[in-house]
Amino acid sequence: MVDRQLIPAQDLNILAAQPEQFLYPGPLDPAQPDPMQQARRFCTSLLRARLELPQYQLISFLALALQYEQSELATADKLSDRLAQQTAGNHSMSVVLAALGEIAASEQFAPVETDNVEERYTRSRQVTVITMHKAKGLDWDFVFLPFLHEHLIPGRLWIPQQAKFLGDFSLAEVARAQIRAQIHEDDTLPEVATAWQRAGYLKIAEEFRLLYVAMTRAKRLLWMSAAQKAPTSWNAPDRLEDKAPCPVLTALRQRYPQAIVSLQ
């Protein structure tokens, strides 16, 4: 707090020696000097937040009260979300502190960088493994796009078994398609079957747009491939099945026969 100039510089040992007297002085205690009073008011306001705020807001509140900078605030929010996930169902202070200690001890919690965040992905002499979504706005000399199979790009809309009691459609996707129709002022609201069909078209278009973004990240070489056999799920990588390549690979081989498109 002194380093951040939130309280005046003073002998902190005096404050720590008798914390109860410092924080909540009685009528018979000696008068506190002005720097100590400023520190007391600030500290008691932080302690009061423990009683007045819900548990999940404490870290964000402390970050604001300590006047964190942009990257520090983002890191505090990330930490708060991480704690919420680890302590789901039990938000007692003891559990939160135990989870916080575990995160600190593991040294696997990376801070959020807001200044030139993209630099860590584009450093020279570095191989970067990244998702297509994350690669937007970046570029590299050489880009490799493996596992381009039809069941992934464009893929298809998938309905969990437990959600099929409504029918062979996803209620969320149908609702989105109907909302889009309403926003674009269609004459009639599409029925469920029509909305589900439109949702499928939108997914295909979105996946191809994403692939286009990934393909245009390369400055010198673009390498794309799809294995003839691939695992249905990476949870069982040894279980291989025949997989059709992404339609884009087939189209590229037909349109640009001089290009090397790998279908191994």
Give CA separation, 37 vs 29, 31, 43, 62, 80, in Å: 13, 9, 10, 20, 31
Rounded Cα gap, residues 211 and 141, in angstroms: 17
Confidence of residue 111 (pLDDT cuts 50, 70, 90): confident
- CB crowding 254-264: b at 16 or more within 10 Å, else e: eeeeeeebeee
Percent of the chain residues topping a pLDDT of 90: 19
pLDDT band at residue 260 using 50, 70 and 90 as cut-offs: low
pLDDT tier for residue 220 given thresholds of 50, 70 and 90: very high
Who's near 258: CB < 8 A, 6+ residues apart?
none
Q: Model confidence at 152, in pLDDT bands (50, 70, 90)?
A: confident
pLDDT attached to residue 112: 77
Q: What pLDDT sits at residue 25?
A: 92
* Cα 26 to Cα 246: distance, rounded to the nearest angstrom: 76
pLDDT of residue 210: 93
Q: What residues pair up with 103 in beta bridges, in sequence order?
A: none
Question: Which pLDDT score, from 0 to 100, does residue 93 have?
Answer: 83
Average pLDDT along the chain: 84
Domain edges within the chain: 12-106, 118-255
What average pLDDT does range 177-201 have in this prediction? 82
Taking domain 118-255, whether its CATH number is 3.30.1370.100 is answered by no
Q: What is the pLDDT of residue 83?
A: 86
pLDDT tens-digit map of 1-36: 888 888 899 888 888 888 999 999 998 888 999 999
pLDDT greater than 90 at residue 217: yes
Beta bridge partners of 142: 221
Q: Which helix (H) or strand (E) holds 229?
A: strand 229-231
- Position with higher pLDDT, 28 vs 235: 28
Give the confidence band of 229 by pLDDT, cuts at 50, 70, 90. Answer: confident
pLDDT for the residue 262: 52
Which of 184, 242, 246 shows the shortest CA–CA distance to 210? Answer: 246
pLDDT at 198: 85
Is 50 exceeded by the pLDDT of residue 107? Answer: yes
- Give the pTM: 0.52
Q: Tell me, what's the pLDDT at 169?
A: 77
Judged by average pLDDT, the poorest of 70-79, 135-144, 218-227 is 70-79
The predicted pLDDT at position 89 comes to: 79
Residue 264: pLDDT band with limits 50, 70, 90 = very low
User: Residue 165: its pLDDT value, please?
Assistant: 67
